[in-house]
Amino acid sequence: MNIQYFSDFNKMSQAAFHIVQKEIELKPDLLFCVASGGSPSGLYAEMVSEKSRNPEFCSRLRVIKLDEWGGLEPGSDFTSELDVQKKFIQPLGISQERYWTIDPFTDDPERDCLVMENTIQQKGPLDICILGIGTNGHIALNEPSYTFQVGFHKCELAPSTLNNGMIKSLQQPPSFGMTMGMGNILQSKKILLFIAGSGKKEAFQKLLTKEVSMALPASFLWLHPDVEVLVDESAV
């Protein structure tokens, strides 16, 4: 695990972009796992800027979505899908044939999770996996637990997740999640973990102990050979 500290969000995002740009130059059709949320948004903005200068950038990139909320009211705009569409998929011109996702309003989440798992097995492993860290140390929607799922699965959300940020203000909050499993993530060739935003200090300090614990899902990244941790110092 290579931990890098940056004085602000923009510098962190620029450093992440240079890592991703290098990997895309080496393998233009790499499989990229896109995460929603604010932490990687600066990276995505840098990629979109590069696309405006170089139209061929990301023209062969293959993309799969990390996770999604479930149980939201129909038409809710609090979805990972809407977030990544606006910040990543549409501005980078990722075609439907090069993007695999899960519907937040699916009527059969178990079936759709199985479809996503089969896609990962057929198209993967992931070349780059983008992750943020939850206030409780979760990665994707793999919450602290006594057991972890290996593959893409429907998951129970922790109270600490449901009581965090904008979620608790929703009229109808998510009742479950759909997420890549720990096995999918740990099989990635390269992982970028962003430590940014409010409320991440405690989880990050626990990560720095290097103790691998089911109580801190992010700690399992210590077992991976190629993890870049990019830290916005204002968050820690």
CA distance 188 to 226: 9
Residues 68, 127, 136, 184: which is the catalytic one? 136
Helices and strands, counts by H and E, the chain: 7, 10
User: Which residue among 138, 153, 184, 232 is the active-site one?
Assistant: 138
Nearest to 35 by CA among 182, 133, 176, 151: 133
Distance CA(56)–CA(52), nearest Å, equals 9
Helix (H) or strand (E) holding 25: helix 9-26
Contact of 178 with 154, CB cutoff 8 Å: yes
Structure tokens at 98: 């090069």
What does the alpha-carbon distance between residue 67 and residue 33 come to, in Å, rounded to a whole number? 10
Q: Choose, from 46, 67, 112, 232, the residue flagged as catalytic.
A: 67
User: What is the C-alpha to C-alpha distance for residues 102 and 218, in angstroms, rounded to an integer?
Assistant: 23
Task: Measure the CA–CA gap between 67 and 56, rounded to whole angstroms.
Answer: 27
Instruction: Tell me, rounded to whole angstroms, the distance of Cα 32 from its chain centroid.
Output: 10
Active site residue 67: yes
Active-site annotation holds for 136: yes
Name the active-site residue from 46, 143, 228, 232. Answer: 143
Which residues are known to be catalytic? Answer: 67, 136, 138, 143
